[in-house]
Structure 1
């Protein structure tokens, strides 16, 4: 099996690559090639299979088509301009999140036509596709009503993926990701960035600002569980998906204040004292439109997983991602 990860330089792309390289197989088939692509060549990974790293700008349709056309059985499309940046830089968000997705799907379509196959495309969407007046908890069949540009671009990508699948061009699977916390690395331009930084930085002895009140409630998933779900998505038979090609991944609903208390129970008082509560109207204008309670019944039936508690999210970060004290 030949696997391509677009967005392979990001934290999820790197975690997924390491997982696949270590396993050496996906969906019961040996991985014969693992290719990582991003704006800059991603860090390579090794294991039972070694990765190849390439530079790719998905806004370049010809380059995207050429890379995909080199031959892949499973394509993970993880690349995106994140929520806050997509809102602030509309044209960039449209170029990457909408046009870039279409370029990936068109590349897979051309590859399938050339090989007489249906390449599998696993597309990371977002719970930002939900907004406005919806029932809570939100079922998968609820209409998509995004209230920001990022959510609109992801919703459009889902619709394209479903139609390309209906036409038989590819085998598409769209996963609506909860907010992933705790993300390793540094803060980014996502409106949700604080939902990791208020834990990540204090756990490493650094201060952090929380721009919402302790009562803010949201839908979360750990990086470890997210990777399990990305791998699992490739194991589900094509016919099981049917015409509904998108689903919300399982998560857990938490208050920010309760999450801080979970950190206190695992790591003590010191990290919690490094958080400053300073509300930011710009951030709130985006994240208060996101929905906090979903009903991932279909995902659970198909074997996708959530975390047991936010204490686990804290433990996973301490086990998997915390930087050495010298950093």
Structure 2
């Protein structure tokens, strides 16, 4: 098998590459077999262990170089501009998240045999609009013009219509639709997976609007102060790196029949709050660890993250054996195990 990972030097790309080399899935429900060549397409250098693996081919370039590559059996399209950066620089988001995705799909379209393509989308394709949403506990016979003062608490189902509230969300949703149409036409075997906020990420903070969720754990674990830019009781949905990789690999592994005709699938997520993450720090790391967190809301971050839903009912993913993290303590312990 020849496999490509775009964004292969990133955090998730690195974890995915190691997983595919150590335990390759039976792609598309076919027979299991080794990954003979794993191509990592990324302008940045990969981890040393991957760079030194004879099965790995490093292509130090962006998505505009994808046309120079030979056909592969499976594609994992992880490369993209994160939410905060896409909101600040609209043109950058369009070039990478739309034009780049289109380049990947057109390259796949030219393959002699339609490849499996897994596109990492996001919970950001959904959004909460106070003008349209109603709280989950609102009586069904409440007149539509009745003022509602309680917080919105939308539960996202598998068939919930996406309604992005950010440039990043719109770009990911358009990418999903392109994957669906290219699949419908038989150009590829596409599966779009909507990831939750992935936490905890190691290293320096990135430009993702939700990046603070990793910082709430990562910095205090290392004895460093951090700031939470949203209210402590703001509902959020997250998934640990391990659970996220499991969802991505499963998307590539199952047969077309098991995946179904709807190409986009929402992966499971743990519904929690920053305050619950802070309490988990004190339980798992040690009493008083959460005192390193200061609570200073940033209206720009709240405007993005506050419109993302935090409750999901993911029956399709559950039917494939995928589950959310049990609790915040397990998320923190997974990070400690990787540190």
RMSD over aligned Cα atoms: 1.6
Q: Distance in 2 between matches of 1:48 and 1:81?
A: 28
Q: Distance in 1 between matches of 2:183 and 2:234?
A: 37
- The Cα shift of 1:201 comes to 0.8
Question: Residue in 2 aligned with 1:256?
Answer: 274
Q: Distance in 2 between matches of 1:110 and 1:55?
A: 22
Question: Residue in 1 aligned with 2:150?
Answer: none
- The Cα shift of 1:44 comes to 5.0
Which of 277, 287, 290 pairs up with 1:269? 287
Question: Residue in 2 aligned with 1:118?
Answer: 114
- The Cα shift of 1:224 comes to 1.0
Q: Distance in 2 between matches of 1:39 and 1:137?
A: 38
1:196-223 Cα deviation digits (max 9, x unpaired): 0111011011110001111011111000
Unaligned runs of 5+ in 1: 323-327
Question: Residue in 1 aligned with 2:236?
Answer: 218
**How do residues 162-181 of structure 1 correspond to structure 2 at under 5 angstroms?**
162-181=180-199
**How do residues 160-239 of structure 1 correspond to structure 2 at under 5 angstroms?**
160-239=178-257
Unaligned runs of 5+ in 2: 137-153
**How do residues 232-247 of structure 1 correspond to structure 2 at under 5 angstroms?**
232-247=250-265
- The Cα shift of 1:303 comes to 2.0
Question: Residue in 2 aligned with 1:299?
Answer: 317
- Confirm or deny that 1:21 pairs with 2:17: no
Q: Distance in 1 between matches of 2:49 and 2:249?
A: 17
Q: What secondary structure sits across from 1:306 in the alignment?
A: coil
- Confirm or deny that 1:100 pairs with 2:100: yes
- The Cα shift of 1:50 comes to 3.0
Taking a change above 3 Å as real, the CA distance of residues 237 and 57 of structure 1, as seen in their structure-2 partners, is same
- The Cα shift of 1:42 comes to 2.4
- The Cα shift of 1:91 comes to 0.3
Question: Residue in 1 aligned with 2:68?
Answer: 66
1:267-323 Cα deviation digits (max 9, x unpaired): 112421111111111111111111111111111112222211110110010001x2x
Which TM-score applies when normalising by structure 1? 0.91
Contact 1:4 1:76 in 2 (8 A): yes
Greater mean deviation of Cα atoms: 133-142 or 284-293: 133-142
Q: Distance in 1 between matches of 2:47 and 2:273?
A: 35
Q: Distance in 2 between matches of 1:49 and 1:120?
A: 23
Q: Distance in 1 between matches of 2:327 and 2:199?
A: 12
Question: Residue in 1 aligned with 2:35?
Answer: 31
Q: Distance in 2 between matches of 1:227 and 1:24?
A: 13
Which TM-score applies when normalising by structure 2? 0.88
- Residues paired across the two proteins, number: 312
Q: What secondary structure sits across from 2:110 in the alignment?
A: helix
- Confirm or deny that 1:88 pairs with 2:88: yes
- The Cα shift of 1:240 comes to 2.5
- The Cα shift of 1:167 comes to 0.1
Question: Residue in 1 aligned with 2:47?
Answer: 43
Structure with greater Cα Rg = 2
- The Cα shift of 1:24 comes to 5.1
Q: What secondary structure sits across from 1:289 in the alignment?
A: coil
- The Cα shift of 1:230 comes to 1.4
Contact 1:219 1:292 in 2 (8 A): yes
- The Cα shift of 1:239 comes to 2.4
Contact 1:44 1:52 in 2 (8 A): no
Q: Distance in 1 between matches of 2:18 and 2:260?
A: 30
Taking a change above 3 Å as real, the CA distance of residues 48 and 38 of structure 1, as seen in their structure-2 partners, is closer
1:89-130 Cα deviation digits (max 9, x unpaired): 00000000011111101010011xxx2x11011000000000
Q: What secondary structure sits across from 1:205 in the alignment?
A: coil
Q: Distance in 2 between matches of 1:25 and 1:237?
A: 12
